[in-house]
Structure formats: C-alpha cells, structure tokens
C-alpha cells in the first residue's frame, strides 16, 4: 500500500513491543449534528470506506473497540490487503478494547455493571468478549488489548470497583499469557485507579493508558503517574472533539504560522514531543497523511509551555475519568 513512512514510526512499550506512534481511531459517528439523539452512538458502516483510506495514507495502527462494531469491516479490509500481498500481519498494529459499561444507544456489546451478580460473572463476560473480538476481526491475536473504562459511569463505590477492576485485569493478564494479545493496558484510568490495581496485586503493569489529552484537556496527575511507572499515555481526541473550536485558538494559529504547519500538526507535535502516542482521525486521506507529518520539526521549550498553559483542567465534552471511583 502507498503512503508515507510516518505511520511506521514507533514507541517501545515496557515489554518491548513496538507500537506505532500514530494510530487511527475507528469509532465512527456523527456526534455534533442536531437530531442524533434517537440514533445509535456509532456508525460502523463508515469503517468500510474510512479504514482503507487510512491504510492508503500510511496508517499502520488501527484502534477500535468491541462496542464500536467496526471489527468486521477492519478484519475484511485487512484480509483483502493480506490476500493481495499489500500488507502482512506483522506490518499492521491492531488495538481493541473490552469492558464498556452499559449505556443507552450502544445496543449490546457492553457489560451491565449494575447487575447484582456482576462480580461472579464479569470474568466470563470479558473472556467471551475477547474471543468474540478476535473472531470478528478474523485475527489470531491483537497487538494491544485494553480495558475500556474503569467502572460504571458515576459509580462512587471504590471498594466494589477495585474488586471489579482486578477481576477484569486477571482476564487481561490471561489473554497476554495465552498469546491473544501482545500487550495489555487500560483506557480512561486515573492515577488512583492504576495505583489501586498495583496495590491489589496486578502481576503485569498496564503497558498503555489511553486517555483524552489535548491542549484544552490535560490530566497532569495521570500523565505524571504513567511516565513514572513506565505506562505509555495514548491521547484520544487529541485535536478536540467534533465541533471543537480548539484548532482556532489564537496561540495555535500563530504557532502554525511560525512553524509552517497547520494548527492540528502543532497539537500533534506537542503530544508526540512529550513521548505520547496519538489517535487522530479524519475522513480525508490527505489530512490523515498530513496529521502524521510532524517529525520534521521541533517545538521550542517556550512554545511547548505556552501550549500546555492552554489547559482547562477538564474535558469539555466527554466523561471525566475522575467521575468513576
């Protein structure tokens, strides 16, 4: 397949696995238009056009999840590329996630964490979802397997959630040990969630913590904990959510002019320069490629600090990981 080599640049995880710095988020949907409240959250049909487009642009890391419903389109697209000799399995990195709490308009592929017997059944459910993910993807293993959320949204029972997270993590460790995943990690975990997991007896420290990070949304304590403990931070929504005005921020526009780049590239370089993985998404093939074109310049220390100072200290549109005990 064509595309630049920027999508092949990697970061080494704590267990030695090489993960591409850039991934392509495979959660598709229209979250900004009016009239969406009665429809499904995700639009997996978009994967049939957007995933091939990303691969043509040079992306070599696809980030999906069981609840996104894009596994089959990704598997079919990769299978076609394998059959034509355009890609080999070890040339593409696939991440998926399991253990998403139930919520309206997800229509299954989630776990009801309010069920009275969830502590007795959760391991069976997570194991089942991992098997189903591999089957839908038509892959023998995934490169990275993540726990999607640390618990039910708004849950305040820390003791219960700690027990639940450890049970789920044991299944993740099993998947790693059995070769169903080359690396395992978490998503949307706070520093306290991670510390609790370690204290409660995790054998494997999560290799990755995927959280929302962009100039307006920075979780400093989480980022510092991960850096100190060898956990790679992957930034989802790195350029703000759909409809965000962040890329029109005066500072980012000025820096784009200064460095001869666009505001999105400034943001992505700011993240990459902090040794984070990034998961931008675009429906435009040229823009997907340009998003990865950030390895030919460096932002000055003063400008890095100025971008960091833009933080609002919270997410403007997404749930806060601190809302889950």
Per-residue pLDDT tens digits for 56-73? 999 999 999 999 999 999
Report phi then psi at 69, rounded to 5. Answer: 65, 25
pLDDT score for 212: 95
pLDDT score for 318: 79
**What's the domain range around 233?**
18-240+277-282
pLDDT score for 174: 98
pLDDT score for 240: 82
Q: Is 68 a catalytic residue?
A: yes
Tell me the pLDDT of the chain averaged across its residues.
93
pTM score: 0.95
**Helical H runs in the chain?**
47-56, 71-84, 118-137, 158-177, 191-199, 220-228, 250-259, 263-272, 285-291, 301-308
The CATH code of the domain that includes 30 is: 3.20.20.100
Residue 222 three-state SS: helix
pLDDT band at 242 (very low <50, low <70, confident <90, very high): low
Residue 209 three-state SS: strand
Half-sphere exposure of 131 (CA within 13 A, CB side): 7
> Which residues, including other chains, have CB under 8 Å from residue 240's CB and lie 6 or more apart?
214, 216, 217, 246, 247, 316
Q: Cα–chain-centroid distance for residue 24?
A: 9
24-25 and 61-63 beta bridge pairing:
parallel
Select which of 68, 107, 225, 259 is catalytic. Answer: 68
pLDDT band at 85 (very low <50, low <70, confident <90, very high): very high
pLDDT score for 248: 94
Note whether residue 294 is domain-resident: no
Span 245-262, pLDDT tens digits: 899 999 999 999 999 999
Span 163-203, pLDDT tens digits: 999 999 999 999 999 999 999 999 999 999 999 999 999 99
% the chain with pLDDT above 90 = 85
Average pLDDT over residues 285-302: 96
Higher model confidence: residue 278 or residue 4?
278
Note whether residue 251 is domain-resident: no
CB 225 within 8 A of CB 232: no
Average pLDDT over residues 210-233: 96
Note whether residue 267 is domain-resident: no
Residue 34 pLDDT > 60: no
Residue 94 pLDDT > 80: yes
Note whether residue 250 is domain-resident: no
Note whether residue 151 is domain-resident: yes
Higher model confidence: residue 281 or residue 128?
128
Nearest to 29 by CA among 52, 50, 46: 46
Residue 4 pLDDT > 90: no
**Cα angle value 91/77/176 (rounded, 5°):** 50
Is 148 marked as a binding-site residue?
Answer: yes
- Tokens 């991670």 map to which residue? 194
Note whether residue 321 is domain-resident: no
**Helical H runs in 57-113?**
71-84
> Which residues, including other chains, have CB under 8 Å from residue 28's CB and lie 6 or more apart?
42, 43, 44, 45, 46, 47, 50, 68, 70
Nearest to 59 by CA among 20, 90, 86, 97: 20
Note whether residue 115 is domain-resident: yes
Number of domains in the chain: 1
pLDDT score for 2: 56
Residue 5 pLDDT > 90: no
Note whether residue 95 is domain-resident: yes
């Amino acid at each position: 397949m064509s595309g630049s080599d920027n999508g092949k640049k990697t970061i080494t995880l704590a267990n030695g696995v090489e993960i591409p710095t850039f991934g392509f988020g495979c959660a598709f949907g229209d979250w900004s238009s009016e009239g969406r409240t009665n429809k499904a959250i995700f639009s997996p049909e978009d994967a049939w056009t957007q995933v091939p487009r990303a691969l043509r642009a040079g992306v070599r890391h696809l980030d999906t999840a069981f609840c996104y419903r894009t596994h089959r389109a990704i598997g079919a697209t990769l299978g076609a590329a394998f059959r034509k000799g355009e890609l080999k399995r070890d040339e593409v990195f696939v991440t998926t996630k399991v253990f998403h709490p139930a919520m309206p308009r997800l229509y299954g592929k989630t776990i009801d964490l309010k069920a009275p017997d969830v502590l007795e059944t959760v391991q069976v459910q997570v194991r089942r979802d991992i098997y189903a993910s591999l089957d839908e993807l038509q892959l023998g293993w995934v490169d990275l397997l993540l726990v999607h959320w640390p618990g039910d949204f708004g849950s305040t029972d820390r003791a219960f959630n700690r027990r639940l997270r450890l049970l789920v993590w044991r299944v993740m460790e099993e998947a790693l040990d059995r070769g169903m995943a080359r690396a395992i990690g978490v998503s949307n975990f706070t520093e306290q969630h991670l510390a609790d997991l370690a204290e409660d007896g995790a054998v494997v420290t999560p290799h990755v913590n995927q959280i929302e990070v962009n100039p307006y949304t920075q979780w400093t304590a989480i980022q510092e904990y991960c850096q100190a403990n060898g956990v790679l931070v992957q930034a989802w929504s790195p350029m703000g959510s759909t409809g965000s005005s962040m890329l029109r921020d005066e500072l980012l526009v000025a820096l784009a002019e200064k460095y001869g780049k666009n505001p999105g590239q400034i943001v992505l370089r700011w993240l990459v320069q902090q040794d984070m993985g990034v998961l931008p998404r675009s429906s435009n093939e040229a823009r997907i490629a340009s998003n990865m074109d950030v390895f030919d310049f460096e932002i000055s220390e003063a400008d890095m600090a100025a971008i960091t100072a833009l933080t609002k200290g919270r997410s403007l549109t997404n749930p806060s990981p601190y809302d889950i005990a």
